[in-house]
Structure 1
Amino acid sequence: MGINKLSDLIRSEARSAISYKEISDYTGKTIAVDTSIVLNQFRTAVPRLRNRDGVNVSPLTGLFFRTLHFLEHDIRPVFVFDGCPPEQKASVLARRAKVTGWSSSYTSTSVSCQIQDCQRLLRLLGVPYVRAPGDGEAFCAQLVKDGRADAVASEDMDTLAFGGTLLLRQLNAKRVSEVMEYSLPKVLDTLKLTYKEFVDLCILLGSLVLIQKHRTIEEVVLHINRETHPVPLSWRYSDARRLFSDAPQATLPELIWKEPDEKGLVNFLCHEKYVKEDRIRGRMEKFRQTQKERRKEREEISTAGKGKQTLMEDFFRATRKREAPVVEEPSSRKKARPH
């Protein structure tokens, strides 16, 4: 759903809460992936990628390539699917599904055929997935808060409002220092807000000065000029608070990652969904070679380590120190990075 201009506000007022990194910085990490965002990206980016039956297979093929990209960097993804939508988001999600011509994944008792296909694909890739009890982003945030995941990968800023302590945007970025890491603790510390006050800030869509001065929406409403800033009688801000702070919780099943089933993948994607076989086999060959090279590197490191005394720096992977990109003041109208 997204929170209007929250990313702009953080870049302007809490710049130190953003780090620019590379995908390799998350090697060995468990990342909760907001699946609806990934699928929507491919539906909108490649809307005409259809098989011989006229079915748009861009979400399936996109999910296939994106997942292998994560695995090649030794990232352990956990894909989170939406459950029953909260009332506040249902209309937005239905509209998004209609625009892209894709059935919404939100139903109370069943899962759409398209989502079932995506889940079958993930099983063949050997990657775990879960269906959230409600909003997928809220459950992603819960996984991080519970220590079951290290960060959330999503393009929507809602993750921070749901209490996710670490949000990764553009995790699929190929170029240097284009993964954007948002730290919620740093945001709160820089803005001098509690988490509850931050949620009210998100509901007010960026009215930072008012929240910093009055601390709650109720106090803001009491002190603003009602003639110049009328408050709608139907404004249900308490419901919005509950959306973020009282999201449904669930017990997470055991997470297990396995080797991809190449034969099963070819049968499913190529023989059932009619994706070109050379694309799938070619990508799997590249994946096998990458994994082989990584295993060889690990073996060489392990062998070399047995012949010398272990040093403290051996426990940590050396990374190149990067300077934060220069961001101009808002008045200059220049932007250091695209949205």
Structure 2
Amino acid sequence: MEKDEMTQEMEHYQRIVRAFLYYRIHSLKRVNQARRCFTSLSKEDQQLAPKFTTKLDLIKMAIGVNYDFIRTILQRTQNLFLNSEIYQMDEVISSVYIKLTYLISTVPEFDMEKVKSTIKQFVRDWSKEGEKERNTCYLPIINEILRLFPRDDIQPNAINILVPGAGLGRLAFEIVKLGYNCQGNEISLYMLITSNFILNNCTTTEQYVIYPWVHQYCNIAGFDDQVRNIKIPDMAPSEIPKDTSFSMCAGDFLLVYNDPGKKWDCVATCFFIDTAHSIIAYIKKIYQILKPGGYWINLGPLLYHFADMAGEQSLELSYEEVKTVIENVGFSYEKEEKGIVSGYTQDPSSLMTTLYHNIFFIVRKPEIDQQQ
């Protein structure tokens, strides 16, 4: 890696660490705002909601617990990933602490939203409460892997499966737990830092307590809902077969997988393909890295993460157009199901939820590659 590129990577890493470290200050600002609003009311109006300040005290406590958890994550993050050359957390934290006093004002709201969404991601991937979402989104993929690569007929550890957009690693973990070799790929440092922690540092179930809904002030049904805690992980990530390969690879999916000698039996994508600037580039890359006869299994919507984002290019195709691209690239459809309804890091007790009507499909690369 060139020196300038390493410097850019380190600056980006410091930015993410700075956002994590700013979590408590940022979150307490919102608590103080609510408190000021309430105390500005007349005494008569305040007495009509006598438990409100008690709730704010509980929220403040919960934010403190979350912050301690974040600090634990950062302190145990080092030697992160297979292709990492520069991530030395001790140096990063020391540098960020020194700079934090005068760089606080530079933490964008976008970065803080990423921190809060990462906390909620623990619920989806590593809690009992997230089991329903996981069953809806991950089980169809897992069941098809078991069907396509039956463990009674083959050695599962001879099958290599790639999970781009792996997030906190639960789908990849479940695949490895079944005996297959699996690598997760992730570009987000928020996800990489936290997945490294959960996969490599959690040794028992329900080892940590977090408060993922503490930042939600609207559409709260009950007094305790905002400060409801979640215990993680629901399963110890160390519980995988010893004769399998499980790894996480950091970086841009389009740039990392360029070794012509490395091909995959299966690529499994869940809520991933719409994270591209150009979904066509993703489809072509998946085709390129699959072995002849290999399978691509996908489940998710077409939210298009860069749509309407200032300064970012975004190609938004309908699913009908996406399907045409998939077939024109050379894939053949083996299965297709529309309208699989799921949430994504949703609070089940909230008065408002967002549901996706997902597309689920399995396509296959021909045994004889037409592009060769």
Q: TM-score, normalised by structure 2?
A: 0.24
Q: TM-score, normalised by structure 1?
A: 0.26
Bigger fraction of residues in strand: 2
